[in-house]
Amino acid sequence: MKQLSDRIVAKLQAEMQVPDLAGTRYSVVRHLARGGMGSVWLADDMVLNRRVALKVLDLVAPADDLGALLLREARILAGLEHPGIVPVHDAGTLADGRAFYCMKYVEGQTLAQHIAGKNLSEKLRLLERIAEPLDFAHARGFIHRDLKPENIMIGAFGEVLVMDWGLAKVAATGRKPTEDGISTVVPAPQDSSRVTGQGGVLGTPGYISPEQERGGSEVDHRTDIFSLGALLAFMLTGISSEEVPTATRAAPRPLRAICEKAMATDPNARYQSAREMAADTVRYLSNEPVLAYPEGWFERVGRIYARHRTAIVLIGAYLLMRVFFILFARR
């Protein structure tokens, strides 16, 4: 009997969470995901006749604080017009008092799903494309602060999108995490972002930088560089750096060096921009010297050979042919 009533209560709670879209241009299709502040719903935009995603606050949440935070997230996204950042179409308050915003519905896979079966070159190209919107946001003074595989979506046409800017911070204003309201966010149980001892959401274990974990005011865009390094480690190994800190040992040394530089404890020792880090991975792909890795003489020769293999083989074949003619086929 108790089980039955629990099930009924759970069902009622679930029904109550369905946003009341009366008076809006949207109608709910289904629930998509849960975040720190609320849920994301798939909806139909009945005016433009298209599918959209609605991020709606939870009913149980203290609406005033979180409503402002949700609007803040929507404004951050609206200010970041980039092909790699999901666009916001609309924001407002529903009939039941819950704040919401409407964004593009991205049909695709998370990073973890997408990289399964991909080769190293494809993964590194992906990292380059993740770094682009990040660098764009940093240039405009925004820090994501929660980069992780779940927050990277790859669309049906291969477009790479950095999602969930709910923990983003405006770096340009120099506000402390406790001042911008982030510290009051309480994540839902399903959300992997964690709360520190002080109660401030700082990010996700395995992807969070040491200075962000400490909750100090010195957090700047280089905290995202740390997370990008952790993402690269994840892409190389398939597991987060927290699960097995030494997992990248099997990866090529220059890539390990890139990870280590990006994830340095001292932000000054890291890459100073996402673009700089992406450029180093592209250098690795092009068989050029990686800035983070001082290579030895043999490694340099091997890399140069790999880079110019065809030309070296052609010239070698030509010289061999010349030797053959000198020895056996004189005019």
Partner 1 sequence: MNKVVLGLILGAILGAVDGMSAWFTPAVRTQIVGIVIGSTFKGIIAGILIGVFARKVQSLALGIVFGLGVGLLLAFIVAQMQHGFYFQIMLPGGMVGLIVGYATQRYGRGPQPQRP
Active site residues: 146
3-class SS at 44?
strand
Find out whether 38 and 66 touch, Cβ atoms under 8 Å: yes
In terms of Cα–Cα distance, which of 153, 156, 176 is closest to 86?
Answer: 153
Please list, residue by residue across 144-165, b when 16 or more beta carbons sit within 10 angstroms of its beta carbon and e when fewer do.
bbbbbbbbbbbeeeeebbbbbb
Q: Does 244 bind partner 1 (CB under 8 A)?
A: no
**How many angstroms separate the CA atoms of 155 and 167, rounded?**
23
Q: Is 47 in the site for partner 1 (CB under 8 A)?
A: no
Binding mask 73-112 for partner 1 (x = CB under 8 A): ----------------------------------------
Per CB under 8 A, 7 contacts partner 1: no
Any contact of residue 325 with partner 1 (CB under 8 A)?
A: yes
For position 330 contacting partner 1 by CB under 8 A, the verdict is: yes
Asked if 329 is part of the footprint of partner 1 (rule: CB under 8 A), the reply reads yes
What are the tokens at 2? 């108790």
68 binds partner 1 (CB under 8 A): no
Residue 134 in contact with residue 146, Cβ under 8 Å? no
Residue number with CB closer to partner 1 (119 or 310): 310
Site string for partner 1, 294-313 (x = CB under 8 A): ----------------xx--
Residue 291, amino acid? L
Would you count residue 328 as binding partner 1 (CB under 8 A)?
no
Closest distance of CB 324 from partner 1, Å:
10
* Residue 325: CB minimum distance to partner 1, A: 6
Q: How far apart are CA 200 and CA 204, in angstroms?
A: 12
Q: Are strands 160-162 and 152-155 parallel, antiparallel or unpaired?
A: antiparallel
Which one of the spans 109-117, 118-126, 203-211, 318-326 is the region binding partner 1 (CB under 8 A)?
318-326
DSSP type of residue 85: B
How many alpha carbons fall within 13 Å on the CB side of residue 5? 2
Q: Which spans of this chain sit near partner 1 (rule: CB under 8 A)?
A: 310-311, 314-315, 317-318, 321-322, 325-326, 329-331
